[in-house]
Structure 1
Amino acid sequence: MEDIEKISADTLKLKEIYRTTLQTVEKNKTQMFSISEAARKEVDFQRKQLADIKGKLIEVIANVDYLENKTQLGKQSLAAASKAFSTEDMQDLYGEVAFMLDKLQYARQKEEHLRQQRDELELSLRRLEGLLEQSENMTLAIGSVATYLSSQFNKITQQVEFTQKCQSIGEHVIMAHEEERKRISRNLHDTVAQGLAAALMQLRICKLALADGDLEGTAHAIDDTSDNIKNCLSDTRQVIFDMRPMALDDKGLAFAIHQLCTTHRDKQTLHIDYSLNGQEYPLPKHVEIMIYRTVQESLSNILHHSGQTKGSIDINYAANALNIVIKDEGKGFDLQEKADLAAEEGDSRHHFGLDFMKEGARSAGAELSISSSPGKGTTVRIKVPRQDWA
């Protein structure tokens, strides 16, 4: 029990660690996505800026080329005018050439400035594109980690639920064992112990009667003692049968189940219609015991919960599997409602019997299904696939 509780506590701690880690990863994933989106918008903006600067640079370069040509032509005209000694023409041409030189110098400065802007923007854009690629890769990586952690978290949650269920079943099994011990102790006290005490008293009476020479009284006391011993023997056999039916070892599962039905009928507690089909084949003892206990629990549920005293058991030894169907036409119940009630109250006692049956069938390698609805009775189906048990 302490080991189960320790496992459950450790699993809960691990679950909490995983939950916190997953929340942190999800938060970082959201932040990284925001960074990626901001970087993508900045990349788009700078690409547009770069395209605009390149467009302006093309226009400026074309203007520089034009002004260089105009300036060269002006210089040639100025040289020609100087040969002709035309002072007026030289002054006009000199003014034009000076003006063109100023415009050319301004255009060249503008070209240089645009080239510098272009180079800086291209360098910034390359860095930003690298940052965008890294952020996108990191977002994908964090997403993969989040997905993995989420799947692991679900597994841990299932493990926690399974551990808690096992712990609950374990606790109830221990309680059931204790209750069974109390029941056996009470039965032994009420039947065998009292019967033996009565037999002992009868023997004393027999001794007194014999000492007095009362043969008739002696014979009567011996008969009473014999009856008491017979009853004690019968009660002892019943206790032994309840603990483990010998018929299960001697004559197999089908006969033991039939004997269980017969015992209920003889005690007038239940009338179970029993049918057997197919050729019985042996199963491992632990499988037969768990199947027998599952059938026993089903009959107990009919007796205590169905509101009926009638039911049926159909056993079919098919080639591929043993199939057992247990039916009653009692009041039935809502399986989901019962599970929800247990979940709300945090208590598995409302459906412990069903869980015990399912766990027992599972441990025996069997498949168990329960179908029920209010007013329409309950059907329990047990399927044990036939396999090589060697």
Structure 2
Amino acid sequence: MDFQKLDPNSLDVILDRTMESINTSKSKLFEIGELSHDECQQINNQLQLLTEELETVQGLRQERLHMDRIARAELVKISKNFQDYGEPEIRNAYEKASDAQIKLSVSMEKESRLKDQIADLEQRISSLQNTSDKAESFMSQISTVLSYLGGELRLYGEVIEDARRKQEYGLKIIEAQEEERKRLSREIHDGPAQVLANVLLRSQLIERIYEKKGKDEAFKEIKDMRSLIEDALKEVRRLIYDLRPMALDDLGLVPTLLKYLNKVDDRSEATIYFHYFEGIQRLHVRLEAAIFRLVQEAVQNALKHADATEISVDLNLDGDKIVVTIEDNGIGFDVNVRKDQSFGLIGMKERVGLLNGTIQVQSTPNKGTYILIRIPIHEQEGV
């Protein structure tokens, strides 16, 4: 195709129509995902009730099994000593045995039916969850396409080589953003949202617990719910911190890095060392945020991709420049070979470039990685 002959206005019209159609499909996928999620929640509620009923029926079956065994034992005793019992005693024993067997059969049939219903509900939940996951995956892919259509493709008139590089990197950034949104969505869904759904369900059961087991058990359930709510609150605070540590605005770069690296050290199997020049004062807010993200990206790369067991972070001043070094003892990599995970380093280089700084990456397979970042302090007003 000869792109030189394309009218940019016509291309914009085509793009707008395409994006409108894709947006419609995305909305329908969202509706499918929401309906699947809501139905899954309703079935979960039914499953909870059926599970409780099954536990009750199983307990009753055990009791009736015991009664059946006693009745059978009595019949065996009468059969061995038939001449010692009168007709009324014999008839009564047979009636008890027959009644016990019928009740046991009813309990076993009800237990079997409940198990079948539970298995059916679990299968429906699995199917709905699969539908919801597929809808979410498709929406993520559509969001990537929409972002691309609405952004990079409209700048197609730039130099081809530069456009190709930006296209490749831009798509990776968009995919990373969508993956991050998907991760946050999943963490909220699997964390606070699930806890709150569980609290809602258990709150609906408190009245039944009170009626069946008394106020002490009901109060115990309320205490358990309070613990769940506290866990959800901690998870929400963690998610907020991951989005942007509030300490960065309040305390500055060094205390925030110290807190973050200590937390990583506690949560991971790696040992983190942090050294800094105590004379570092507060920097421009955008510079502090950028340096924090650079360190965060480098540390996460070392943990996730390099399997590092030791990571050293140094923060110093060199004249009018802030100097950051991150070194790990991980598996390293060939800096001349670009892999998917190298887009993390590309993003770091882009960020440093926007700050008029420099970044050097030295790495050798099986010998770790060393990153040196130098950024001028007094050139960030326009960043």
Shorter-chain TM-score range = 0.5 to 0.7
Q: Does 1:4 align with 2:161?
A: no
For structure 2, list consecutive stretches of 5 or more residues without a partner in the other structure: 1-147
Q: Does 1:284 align with 2:284?
A: yes
CA contact (8 A) 1:274 1:314 kept: yes
- Note the C-alpha offset of 1:356: 0.7
- Note the C-alpha offset of 1:215: 2.5
Q: Does 1:188 align with 2:188?
A: yes
For 1:69, the equivalent position in structure 2 comes to: none
* Residue range with higher mean Cα deviation, 201-210 or 296-305: 201-210
For 1:323, the equivalent position in structure 2 comes to: 323
RMSD of Structure 2 on Structure 1 (CA): 2.2
CA contact (8 A) 1:205 1:221 kept: no
For 1:265, the equivalent position in structure 2 comes to: 265
| SS in structure 2 at match of 1:383 | strand
Q: Does 1:168 align with 2:159?
A: no
Letter in 1 for 2:350: E
Q: Does 1:205 align with 2:198?
A: no
Q: Aligned match of 1:384 in 357, 375, 379?
A: 375
The CA distance in 1 between the partners of 2:380 and 2:282, in whole Å, is 10
TM-score of the two chains, using structure 1 as the length reference: 0.55
- Note the C-alpha offset of 1:212: 6.1
| SS in structure 1 at match of 2:277 | strand
The CA distance in 1 between the partners of 2:380 and 2:352, in whole Å, is 16
- Note the C-alpha offset of 1:366: 2.6
Letter in 1 for 2:159: T
For 1:251, the equivalent position in structure 2 comes to: 251
| SS in structure 2 at match of 1:368 | strand
- Note the C-alpha offset of 1:280: 2.3
Letter in 1 for 2:280: E
CA distance 1:10–1:360, change in 2 (3 Å): closer
Letter in 2 for 1:194: Q
For structure 1, list consecutive stretches of 5 or more residues without a partner in the other structure: 13-159, 343-348
Number of corresponding residues = 233
Letter in 2 for 1:284: H
* CA displacement, residues 270-294 of structure 1 (integer Å, 9 cap, x when unaligned): 3211112132222222222222221
CA distance 1:291–1:274, change in 2 (3 Å): same
- Could you tell me the percent identity over the aligned residues? 30
* Residue range with higher mean Cα deviation, 209-218 or 279-288: 209-218
* CA displacement, residues 49-91 of structure 1 (integer Å, 9 cap, x when unaligned): xxxxxxxxxxxxxxxxxxxxxxxxxxxxxxxxxxxxxxxxxxx
CA contact (8 A) 1:253 1:288 kept: yes
* CA displacement, residues 217-240 of structure 1 (integer Å, 9 cap, x when unaligned): 122111101110001001111111
| SS in structure 1 at match of 2:181 | helix
* CA displacement, residues 347-383 of structure 1 (integer Å, 9 cap, x when unaligned): xx35211111100111233321111112221011111
CA contact (8 A) 1:323 1:381 kept: yes
Q: Does 1:303 align with 2:303?
A: yes
- Note the C-alpha offset of 1:305: 2.0
Letter in 2 for 1:205: L
| SS in structure 2 at match of 1:382 | strand
Q: Does 1:368 align with 2:359?
A: yes
User: Which structure exhibits the higher relative contact order, with contacts defined as CA atoms closer than 8 Å and separated by 6 or more residues?
Assistant: 1
